[in-house]
Amino acid sequence: ASDGQKFSLSVDQQPVSVTKFDLLPNPVLSWFTDQDTAGYRIFALPKPLMPGDSATLEIKTSLTNPGFVNNGYRREILYNGTFTSAGIPSIGYDPNGELESDEDRKKYGLVEKPDDLPPHRDPYGEKTMLFNDDADLINFECIVSTVPDQIAVAPGYLQREWTENGRRYFHYKQDSKIDYFFNVVSGRYSVLRDKWTSPKGEDVNIEIFYHQEHHYNLDRFVAALKDGLSYFHQNFGPYQFRQVRILEFPRYAAFAQSFPNTIPYSEDFGWYADFSDPNDYDYGYYVTAHELAHQWWGHQVVPNFTRGSNLVSESLAEYSALMIAKQKYGPDNVQQFLKYDLDGYLRGRASESKKENVFINCNRSYQWYQKGSIILYGLQDYIGEERLNSAIKAFRDSFGMKENPPFAGSYDLHDFIQTVVPDSLQYYMEDSWHKLALYENRVVTAKAKSIGNEEYEVTLTVKANKRYADEKGAETDATNMDDYIDIGVFAPDKVEANGKKLTVPLYLKKHKLTAGDHTITIKVNKKPEKAGIDPYNKLIDRVPEDNRKEVEF
């Protein structure tokens, strides 16, 4: 037993028991009768399992709440809103249970622990999937029972439902192989049902399981699913399932997680949020698009266990969601999404306690989420959305639904993308994937004068600069800077009938800028209000607030 979890194992119907082992070094002081083993157990098989042999492993497990824990709360088994991985233990030693902090390890006489995955093209890393090393793709089927007034859901298609001995049963079966990555959810749900139809006439059932009082933003979730299914199908390839489901769970945790055709989604992520102001950041729509994208990036293409491979799943999902936002709001109105990601990346690197890896070797969430979205969005802006998507689709075609190794790494995605980037923009690939490049662009002055016929001449003085940082944060100037950077001039925002403000660019073009001051003169056909350098925050600029300035007359 470990913290409310109990399990027993049998192999080919023969019970197996825990072998004796000691925790070394022995703790000087322990509050426990038995030594704490962090839930780690070693079982002796009835007979040795030789290479090529097979056996049936049966696990009986129970999760209970015998009291309360000292650090927070247990959230798996709840009165209404259970969300669990069924308490099935992982097989093998898990180094994630070890102390990570350099300070803590030094305190206990342990050597520093490297936090990088195996290097690129490592044989073990390429044949191992990122999210688990217990299995590759599996056949999945389960029967779940719950109390009579709740609905239990797991990945797969519902085969039948029945009531027996005061319990409500659900039988799910997936008819294609999936990653060994599943969940079980149970709650008193209301269910919204809809469908999306592919260009070939194939229906995908949409189901949203929600707490009946949290019905406010269901239309946003449905719109994001339909928009995402259409865009991802057209640009990256077909959706592999006949259904997609979103399931609300209590806000004891604040995240969403994408399992095969089943997406548990915390009630704290927009179920009862007030989006009545159309200018607010619509994270409900965006997060739904991101989680749907994982059905392609994470489930169709499963990353391998090498350095930087998280970007295959997370950066591509972030990029995919940004493309949905771009399609919905227009390219001139995604700046709030880009600024949100830029701020998140800058906060992450500012609090880095060890070292910052370059993107292709990323090992932190602020790198594969926020930095990845900025890099890929910026790249499609440089080379064109269609061209970048064609490379990503070719990557998906090569690794999608692959049952045998090698599985996909960050270097594979990089190589597919690099083939469609022209020589003139290879510096961007080098800066964004292989270096830590930081911009210091700002507007010094922005002045305009009328030149008749409702035309205006705008004169901008801007300062451009780029610096390179090493993994410890030491910086040097980029002496060879000669980069394409947006220069923009804007009219006052257009306000739609519902109050939504839309950016109105009068001029937006890329200028090739070296480091230093530049004076740029532009003619526009309406009275300008603001002007800027990299005004949409497509580059990683440490002080993005000074990229725009009010125009003086």
The CATH class, in words, for 438-550 is mainly beta
**Is pLDDT above 80 for 159?**
yes
pLDDT tier, 473 (very low <50, low <70, confident <90, very high otherwise): confident
Mean pLDDT of the region 513-527: 97
Q: What is the pTM of this model?
A: 0.93
**Is pLDDT above 60 for 304?**
yes
Smallest Cα–Cα separation from 389: which of 289, 297, 257? 297
H or E stretch at 196: strand 190-197
pLDDT tens figures, 341-388: 999 999 999 998 888 999 999 999 999 999 999 999 999 999 999 999
H or E stretch at 373: helix 372-383
Handedness of CA 127, 130, 132, 137 (dihedral sign): negative
Tell me the C-alpha to C-alpha distance, in Å, between residue 436 and each of 22, 227, 308, 341, 541.
Answer: 45, 34, 15, 16, 12
pLDDT at 36: 52
CATH 3.30.2010.30 in the chain is located at 75-86+100-114+132-275
**Is pLDDT above 60 for 24?**
no
- CATH code of domain 75-86+100-114+132-275: 3.30.2010.30
**Most confident residue range from 33-47, 327-341, 437-451:** 437-451
H or E stretch at 244: strand 243-249
pLDDT tens figures, 74-107: 778 889 999 988 678 888 888 877 888 888 889 9
| Those residues with Cβ within 8 angstroms of residue 364's Cβ, 6 or more apart along the chain or in another chain | 348, 352, 356, 357
Alpha-helix residue ranges (DSSP H) falling in 110-174: 123-126
Three-state DSSP state, 345: helix
pLDDT tier, 254 (very low <50, low <70, confident <90, very high otherwise): confident
pLDDT at 37: 56
Let me know: does 186 contact 151? Beta carbons within 8 Å.
Answer: yes
pLDDT tier, 35 (very low <50, low <70, confident <90, very high otherwise): low
**Is pLDDT above 60 for 28?**
no
| Those residues with Cβ within 8 angstroms of residue 416's Cβ, 6 or more apart along the chain or in another chain | 391, 392, 394, 395, 398
Q: State how far the Cα of 182 lies from the Cα of 154, in Å rounded to an integer.
A: 7
Handedness of CA 270, 271, 274, 276 (dihedral sign): positive
Let me know: does 503 contact 515? Beta carbons within 8 Å.
Answer: no
* Listed range (150-154, 272-276, 311-315, 533-537) with the worst mean pLDDT: 272-276
pLDDT tier, 67 (very low <50, low <70, confident <90, very high otherwise): confident
The structure tokens listed for 51 are: 């290479």
CA angle 132, 136, 137 (to 5 degrees): 115
Q: Which residue has the tokens 């865009």?
A: 231
Mean pLDDT of the region 138-158: 96
Smallest Cα–Cα separation from 229: which of 185, 293, 177? 293
CATH 1.10.390.10 in the chain is located at 310-425
CATH 2.60.40 in the chain is located at 438-550
- Average pLDDT score over the chain: 92
- Per DSSP, the residues of 281-335 read --HHHHHHHHHHHTTTBTTTB-BBSSTTTHHHHHHHHHHHHHHHHHHHH-GGG-H
The structure tokens listed for 185 are: 């959810």
**Position 69, amino acid:** V
Determine phi and psi for 490, rounding to 5 degrees: -130, 140
pLDDT tier, 38 (very low <50, low <70, confident <90, very high otherwise): low
As a whole number of angstroms, the longest Cα–Cα distance in the chain is: 93
Q: State how far the Cα of 334 lies from the Cα of 326, in Å rounded to an integer.
A: 6
**What does R_g of the chain's alpha carbons equal in angstroms?**
27
H or E stretch at 205: strand 203-210
Which is the CATH superfamily of the domain at 310-425? Neutral Protease Domain 2 (1.10.390.10)
pLDDT at 27: 45
**Is pLDDT above 50 for 440?**
yes
Q: What share of the chain is helix, strand, coil (3-state, %, to 5)?
A: 25, 30, 45
**Is pLDDT above 50 for 25?**
no
Let me know: does 24 contact 40? Beta carbons within 8 Å.
Answer: no
Mean pLDDT of the region 224-245: 98
